[in-house]
Amino acid sequence: MRVLVGMSGGVDSSVAAALLRDEGHEVVGVTLRLWGGESDTGCCSVSDVDDARRVAQQLGIDHVVFNFSDDFAEHVVDPYIDAHRVGLTPNPCIECNRHLKFDRLMDRADQLGFDAVATGHHARIGHHDDGRPRLERGADRPKDQSYVLHMLDEATLHRVLLPVGDFTKDEVRALAQRLGLRTAAKPDSQDVCFIPTTQGRRGFLEDRVPFTPASVVDRNGSELGTVTAVELVTLGQRRGLGLPGGGPVRYVVDVERGPHTSTPKVVVGDADALLTNAERVGQVTWVHGPVTGRVLVQSSAHGEPVVGDITVDDEGIVEVTWHLRQSRVAPGQSMVLYDADDCFVIGGGLVLPRR
């Protein structure tokens, strides 16, 4: 089988390519050039491209670089900027997986005659009793990445390989060490790849989004302080609000802004003020089609799944009703639905603002 392996320059994708090579597949490594601006971390940096190329040389496989920078700007960077402008909290890595590492790369693989696309994500592809593929959690639960791959539908799963999903991270590193791969001890990337660590989110956005100051008030409307950029405030945030120390812990429980608000306000309260009985989720993608009833719901990449019941309205909006009240999730973040046994992904979408 001809397999195009996405090689980010990290240890997981390096080992994925090695495993497929050793299985006898015709393997070609590909690194995506995504961000044309300054970068010092993640899979967008020059050093990562070089690491991927050198690992391919060590493995004796061909390596190519695809320039998808225009698509990356359109589908990842610009929406990231726009989300902050309107008060959402985006997850750019999920959008990169959705639009670049699978949709766009799969299209290119089709054009070049490859049978499958592989990545180094820690997740597994299993099958239902009727043979339909499903996206399952990785063997290494703390490193499981099924959350960030929830958008993969049945047709895509038929053509995706996830070779390291059956291994723990320690086993992946040990295998890379035995193979002498230069990425064996390379640390995982944790940051947004197109934002330099020296610049940070504020530095990246301040030249792209007009910042708006806002008052910080308690739930009774009493002013407690100010923030210089309401666009950087996230629901549930408790640091960086300019509040004096020594008092009770306060969280952002609401952000009042928009055309009907003369002066933006950041409302803070205690942890109980964040609790809710339900959330609404839009732009939902399903692996096999809409599902209703009892599910497990995960609201962050490494969060614990929580029991809830879901319904779907005529517009495709999912309402999640919690069995026990949960802290609200920032609008714009992804909420992923798993089966009741917490084995495989059902679907997922973006948390909507309160009406």
Catalytic residues: 96, 193
Distance of alpha carbon 339 from alpha carbon 136, whole angstroms: 10
Rounded to 5 degrees, φ, ψ at 201 are -60, -45
* Closest-CA residue to 144 (of 311, 292, 300): 300
Distance of alpha carbon 51 from alpha carbon 9, whole angstroms: 5
Say how many residues make up the chain: 355
Distance of alpha carbon 192 from alpha carbon 329, whole angstroms: 20
* Closest-CA residue to 266 (of 217, 202, 332): 217
Query: What's the order of all strands across the beta sheet hosting 223-227?
Result: 223-227, 214-217, 265-269, 251-256
Residue with tokens 């320059």: 9
Distance of alpha carbon 178 from alpha carbon 26, whole angstroms: 22
Distance of alpha carbon 299 from alpha carbon 336, whole angstroms: 6
Q: Are 308 and 277 in contact (CB under 8 A)?
A: no
Q: Residue 345 — left, alpha, or beta (φ > 0 → left; ψ -120 to 50 → alpha)?
A: beta
Q: Are 231 and 84 in contact (CB under 8 A)?
A: yes
